[in-house]
Structure 1
Amino acid sequence: MFVKLVIMVSLALCPPILLSHLASSYFISKYGFEQAEQTVSTVAQLSAEAPSVIEGMQSPLNSDVWLQMVDFLTMLTSVSNVKFIVLIDMDGNRIYHPETPKIGAHVVGGDEGNALQGKTYISSARGTFGFSQRAFRPVFDEHGKQIGAVIVGIMSKDIEKNVSRLTSPMTWLFSLALLIGVLLAVQLSRKIKKILFGLEPHQIARLLEERNAILSTVREGIIAINKSNRLVVVNEMAEKILRSAGVKGELLGRPVHEVVPSTRLDSILNEGKPEYDCEQNINGQVIMTNRAPIIIQGKTVGAVATFRDMTEMRALAERLTGLSNYAEALRSRSHEYLNKLHVISGLLRNKRYDELEEYLSDIIGSKIRETSSIKVNVQDPILVGLLESKFSRAHERNVTLSLGGSGVIPHLSSTGAHALVTVLGNLVDNAFDAVSYTQEKHIALTVHCDHGTLVITVADTGHGISEEHIQKIFSKGFSTKGAGRGIGLYMLLLTLDELDGSIEIDSRVGQGTAFTVHVPLSRLTDGGQA
């Protein structure tokens, strides 16, 4: 690309420089010939009107008057820088010539006729000295009678030589200008190549295509503004989210406040500080957004925001919570059964068969009771698996977990099951944490169905929650258990909002806490659709 740019810029410079040179040469040449014509015309007029010339032309050859005329013409030829001054009579014969042997002979060139008829003019012809510019002027005596004509000439080659002396510096000047233009073209090409990071045009086009393809395929909405707070980038997902939020009309080029009234991109542009994981409401549609300044060479030239619909984020969080609970269930089951297998292995090695039989009876009986209790109240297989894992974890942590109630959780839709996993999993896990440092470790889980509403209560015998903390426990990031916590109850509340559900808290410091959840059963069995 560098060589191409140099060639293109050089070719762009050559025509105007060449045309300027040709134009200058033309006008200089024209000026040179015009000056020569003016010179010979003036000298011819001076010669024709000089009294010494008029008297000399009427005097005999080599007479004193004729010799005075010769001296005058010689002097005039010298001071005017003309090549020759020739006098002819009315027959065209030379009366005077700079070269004496040619006096008396007929003038050469064949262009003297009009001069002998009293006309003044300039002609180009080849004479005894060669090709020349010649001025003809008739000579009249004191009575007005024409007695001959004067011919004054400058050699064409002398005119061209003078013109060449003027145009030669111009040629060097234009050559220098062309050289400087080429050097500047080289510097410009290097600068352009540096600006384009050394990329070839086809590589730039390929990057642009890839950039557009990436913007159109990512699932996050992306918008960017320039220093004038106008939108310069809006990908397909961003347009989809904005359209669903009721934004109409053309997006690109518009002020960002007209498209997203609650935006903070202008603040990001001014302050130059990013903001991450922020909730934003666009005409009633809630999104999760990240905003950051666009910095190039240390200067903030714009700002960009990426965002996703919170509905999708919540669904993803619910799936992740469900997976986390499933993983916890498998881990608990594995740990519980591994411990029991160690006990069984020890009893077998020691041949204590009576104790082994009693131990197995206790295990089987306990599992039968737990399974029976779960199956009485729960029919959905996903929730059955979750509750069985929680019973196993309760055994590990020496916590008494009971399940009761007068209602039955039926088979749920996939969305409803994942949502309820989020709710139950977080409530039971919080209950485990609540009873970790108490002497009485009991968690009661009850299920009721009342006129199409599923009511679930999780009560623990923990230390309870103070009044000031109750107001904050559902806030994102709030936790009394240290940094990196405070997400579970926040996600639980978002899930309940999606299900049109509600939650109540009954807590007494030093006595325990009970969370009661109300959820329309139809929102769980119909895929979460109202």
Structure 2
Amino acid sequence: MLVLQLAIVVVVLVAVAAVSLAQSAATFNRVEGRRVTALAEQLAGSQTLRFGIRHPAPAEVLAPLLQTTLTQSGVTSITVADVDGRIIGATNPTTIGDKMTMGDPRVAEGRGWSGELRVDEEQELVSQVPVLSQGTDLNNRADGSLGARIGTVMVGERSPSVLERLRGASSYLAIYLGIACLLGLLGSWLLARRIKRQTLGLEPREIVGLAEHREAMLYGLAEGVVALDPQLRVTLVNDVGRRLLDLPTDAVGRSLRELGIEGRLREVLAGEHDGDAARDAVVVRRGRVLVMNRMDVAKDGRSLGSVTTLRDRTELAQLERELGSFRSSTELLRAQTHEFANQLHTISGLIQIGEYDEVVSYVGALNRYRESLDLTVTRRVHDTAVAALLMAKSSVAAERRVELRVSERTTLQRLAPELSADIATVVGNLVDNAVDAAAQSGTPLSPAWVEVELRQDATSIEIEVRDSGPGVAPELAQEVFAHGFTTKAAAEGERGIGLAMIRLICRRRGGEVAVTNLDDGGAAFVARMSVQPLPEGAR
């Protein structure tokens, strides 16, 4: 950069010198051109000159006049030619008898001309004026008619050299150029030092290499990267980050507010949260479950902004949902095993003490309870997957001393497999959360309970799960889904994606999910989604 700046300074100085030369040349041509023209016109109108041109020995007659004029005027040369253009008198006697060089053919027709010509091996500014026969002035006779041309007068002034023009442009031009050169050198050196410090001592080619490596790294990552300055303006975002956040192509340079980023996403990107919230923060953004990690960037104690990485956990959440169903099945089998083991121990004890009639009564009671539960669920819920899920959840809830009830207003027909799976996911997550909340608040005097109600019409399905738990804190009621909390996490302040997945499924099905607190304690989660009935032939 220093070499480039010095080259620019030199070019500027050369340009200034060229302009000075051009101005000097223009001034010389204007001033001296007028002077030699005036002198040539004066000589052309002299009677002595007319007489000398017509004299048989013109050189002897014209020599004193030309020499005197040369001495008085200070011009370089004076030359007189006859009507044929042959030199008959000159301040340089060696040119007498030669042919005068005409600057313009119209001079032979009686016209004047001024310009530069090469005279005696030197470049001169000359003026050529015709000498007319009689007349009171240069162009007219006494009677007003134009006189006949009898010769030509040429007065010349030597053109100065480049060095002479530089000296003539200004007596201090060299000093000015020298001072300008020194200032340019000093300024270039100081500017180069400052840029060197700002670029951490890197040369331009090294900066280009870093930029190329940065681009390759950022756009080669499978994760999204978003960088913000201290004013929350986007300074960098790669293609993955732009896709995950659904940002426009001109997002760089715009603030979060201009991009329409609000709520939980803005809090994470801007760092408006408590310490650990910047690590693995779960955010739902337009149908995607995102995991975000934010880090502040500072240099020499000065904040430069922040960098946030984003990972799309939507597919992972789907896998977790599938794993959750397997885990739920495992828990169901374990709960049923525990329940059956208790019942077998009871039967075994009754047999050992000889209470055979009690064994029969006990087995009959168990059978009636199971048939009653099966009949209650299957009579109201005709979709086998959802019915099986509710019966399984009933065993798990009973193990935790929570009564799982199916509302009498429940009605659900058979569904398409994809919709049935989504309904089962929503019901399973809501019931699990409700059982967790109810189990924490149950007492012998106030048994814990969870009630499920499924309502279906021609276009939609509504799922409502009520519990006897402590309810949801009012400040979390509107944010719990957007923040990705589960009901248990809402009480403990941890993060999860259970309710976030429920909202994602509902919105994908054209619905929504909401939570309200019951008057007598507990919470009610209501999920709605559209439904496409199974064709008649498949029912």
Scaled by the length of structure 1, what TM-score is found?
0.44
Scaled by the length of structure 2, what TM-score is found?
0.43
